[in-house]
Amino acid sequence: VATLRLESVDLQSSRNNKEHHTQEMGVKRLTVRRGQPFYLRLSFSRPFQSQNDHITFVAETGPKPSELLGTRATFFLTRVQPRNVWSASDFTIDSNSLQVSLFTPANAVIGHYTLKIEISQGQGHSVTYPLGTFILLFNPWSPEDDVYLPSEILLQEYIMRDYGFVYKGHERFVTSWPWNYGQFEEDIIDICFEILNKSLYYLKNPAKDCSQRNDVVYVCRVVSAMINSNDDNGVLQGNWGEDYSKGVSPLEWNGSVAILQQWSARGGQPVKYGQCWVFASVMCTVMRCLGVPTRVVSNFRSAHNVDRNLTIDTYYDRNAEMLSTQKRDKIWNFHVWNECWMIRKDLPPGYNGWQVLDPTPQQTSSGLFCCGPASVKAIREGDVHLAYDTPFVYAEVNADEVIWLLGDGQAQEILAHNTSSIGKEISTKMVGSDQRQSITSSYKYPEGSPEERAVFMKASRKMLGPQRASLPFLDLLESGGLRDQPAQLQLHLARIPEWGQDLQLLLHIQRVPDSTHPRGPIRLVVRFCAQALLHGGGTQKPFWRHTVRMNLDFGKETQWPLLLPYSNYRNKLTDEKLIRVSGIAEVEETGRSMLVLKDICLEPPHLSIEVSERAEVGKALRVHVTLTNTLMVALSSCTMVLEGSGLINGQIAKDLGTLVAGHTLQIQLDLYPTKAGPRQLQVLISSNEVKEIKGYKDIFVTVAGAP
């Protein structure tokens, strides 16, 4: 019988990629998911004879492939597919060609593989032929895979959707930011594996690192460390200052693709700059691309509790100025992290499902700046002993806030002890909708409920041990440090605050009975101060002060108008456009103080985007962008950036010059969509005065020539 020679191979990537939900990455290359068969057609020099011709398949990944490490697999042609091991089966012979089904186990190592066959006849020598390469990914469609998610609706959202929203701002004025994840753009899959190959684990022991890439917990931790650049040549360099002149302001990114492409093109130099929402959005792109269901989550008033005592202290002086402290503890206005969906075989039963992963470099875990996976269920139940980094995430959503009055460098009295001011409005994008979904109840029981306090005590005992009773603020609380107050104070806005306008506030005061002054009038001095509120929860120097003196009779209510002029805050705010107005009312009779706070978020001008006709692949789509400058000042050096996977290849940038106060800017341009299905166009207009005027438009693109 003539020797059997391989003459050609068809990897059938178009059919396979479609069946494996990877066709969005393109069909030029074979990209498949583990735990699911894919098909090849081999053409030989003569018909294949199963009794004489022996074919051995060899699949290899990583630098030193080894069967012991799980990075090399050899398997033979069999009639029946064995369970959850590498196999070639279900074959049919058609003249000189062989159609065969290859199966990868649901716990196989993910990565770039080479595939070859060895052909031998009888006892003769074997000849090796390369078949080509393929990429193997996690498979959330497979019940055997640790990332299995049994809902097609959720899979469409958390794997297939390539755009979404990040929630920012403040618990009382949550703003939604459109973001282009773009996980299916052409080179993103290669960049994801490049990220894994630049990690410290890989550089230290490449073969061992690759062998652990079958484990989603391991891969998540590596990615979490690699998105920031604190220990390694990670993707993004953080910057929480105000000087972004050496890079791009974190506010000016529209999506992940430009960041990942720049990192790769410059040989792994960290991209400048990121803050939490940029880190988390880029991690979402990488994890969805690798096949792990992932979402982006925002936590408003998020504690960063370095000493793990479940308490964050903030300080004000008698003039109501919020003071900076030497302590590293802080309360972010909001903080953004990821949740990835997986089975936790490393934990006791009951902790599967969503897990927190946080790529923002806040503190180290096992020596590297990474965080998670921490089970959301473990956080809700206070099971802070479970891996990984659960105490840190628990404190982010549950710490108490204690506000102190500082005088002569000493803490003089407690102005407030808030048990429910941290971990508010925990939010993510709603499935299949542009709306925001609150998921606070997944992280904790209702504030103040018996379950919530019981969980807090359980977590406290585990985190603080028996020494908890000796904390100084608890002594003060026990001694009645927070006695009842003779008046209630509230600050209200008299109208919607807009950037460029004077701000009008009302101080509302009501005299209430208390133990020291049961019935008599009281004299109050209220000192006010306004400061720019930073994303990290700190403030800048005051730009407005005001003092009010009043007598308040028993049972009386009064309102006092306050004006904060635009000229005071005009050049004083950060890009976040947040103001904290604080007031400290001193009761002259007793010298005791009361605190009143109001955070104000200023509205930027509104952007509108209209699309004139139906969108179709390859056909011009006219887009109209309109911006009216509602401010009292001109917007100078305006630039516009458009982005949207499947609509635009990369980005479109335009310089728009100056937009005079009260005037309207109208821009028209044509896009040529490249992919069908639901798409999102993101538009960012930036100026010297307002860094972030964002808008988006959902666009459904039909297939070319569809009726």
Which residues have a catalytic role annotated?
A: 276, 335, 358
Contacts of 222 (CB under 8 A, 6+ apart): 196, 199, 201, 209, 370
447 assigned binding-site residue: yes
Contact 214, 146 (CB under 8 A): no
- Give residue for tokens 């959330």: 140
Residue of 593, 601, 598 lying closest to 316 (CA atoms):
593
Backbone angles phi, psi at 499, to 5 degrees: -60, 135
Q: DSSP strand E in 482-634: where?
A: 487-493, 503-511, 522-532, 544-552, 557-564, 578-587, 593-601, 607-611, 615-616, 621-628
Instruction: In whole angstroms, give the CA distance from residue 74 to residue 37.
Output: 16
The CA distance from 113 to 170, in Å, is 46
Please classify residue 658 by burial: count the beta carbons closer than 10 Å to its beta carbon, then call 0-12 exposed, 13-18 middle and 19+ buried: middle
* Pairing of the two strands 38-44 and 6-10: antiparallel
Among residues 691, 687, 642, the alpha carbon closest in space to that of 668 is found at: 642
The three-class DSSP label of residue 473 is helix
CA dihedral 685, 257, 293, 240 (to 10 degrees): -60
**CA 286 – CA 276 distance, rounded (Å):** 16
205-228 CB burial, b ≥16 within 10 A, e <16: eeeebbbbbbbbbebbbbbbbbbb
* CA-wise closest residue to 506 among 491, 496, 516: 491
Q: Is the dihedral of CA 58, 64, 67, 72 positive or negative?
A: negative
CA distance linking residue 290 with residue 582, whole number of Å: 47
CB 577 within 8 A of CB 604: yes
What the block records as the tokens of 474 is 């608890």
Half-sphere exposure (Cβ direction) of 441: Cα atoms closer than 13 Å: 4
C-alpha atoms less than 13 angstroms from C-alpha of 510 in its C-beta half-sphere: 5
Among residues 426, 227, 272, the alpha carbon closest in space to that of 334 is found at 426
3-state secondary structure of 334: strand
Check the CA dihedral 557-563-568-573 and report its sign: positive
Please state, in angstroms and rounded to a whole number, the distance separating the CA atoms of residues 565 and 500: 9
Cα–Cα distance measured from residue 172 to residue 155, given in angstroms and rounded to the nearest whole number: 31
| Gyration radius from the chain CA atoms | 30
Q: How far apart are CA 516 and CA 590, in angstroms?
A: 9
Strand, helix or coil for residue 542:
coil
Burial class (CB in 10 A: 0-12, 13-18, 19+), 653: exposed
The residue count of the chain comes to 707
Secondary structure of residue 530 in the 3-state scheme: strand
CB count within 10 Å of CB 559 equals: 11
Is 400 annotated as a binding-site member? yes
Strand order in the sheet with 578-587: 544-552, 522-532, 578-587, 593-601
- Residue 294: CA count within 13 A, CB half-sphere: 28
CA separation for the pair 155, 167 (Å, rounded): 21
Asked whether the beta carbons of 196 and 226 are under 8 A apart, the reply is yes
Beta bridge partners of 507: 491, 560
Residues in binding site for Ca(2+):
398, 400, 447, 452
Residues within the annotated binding site? 398, 400, 447, 452
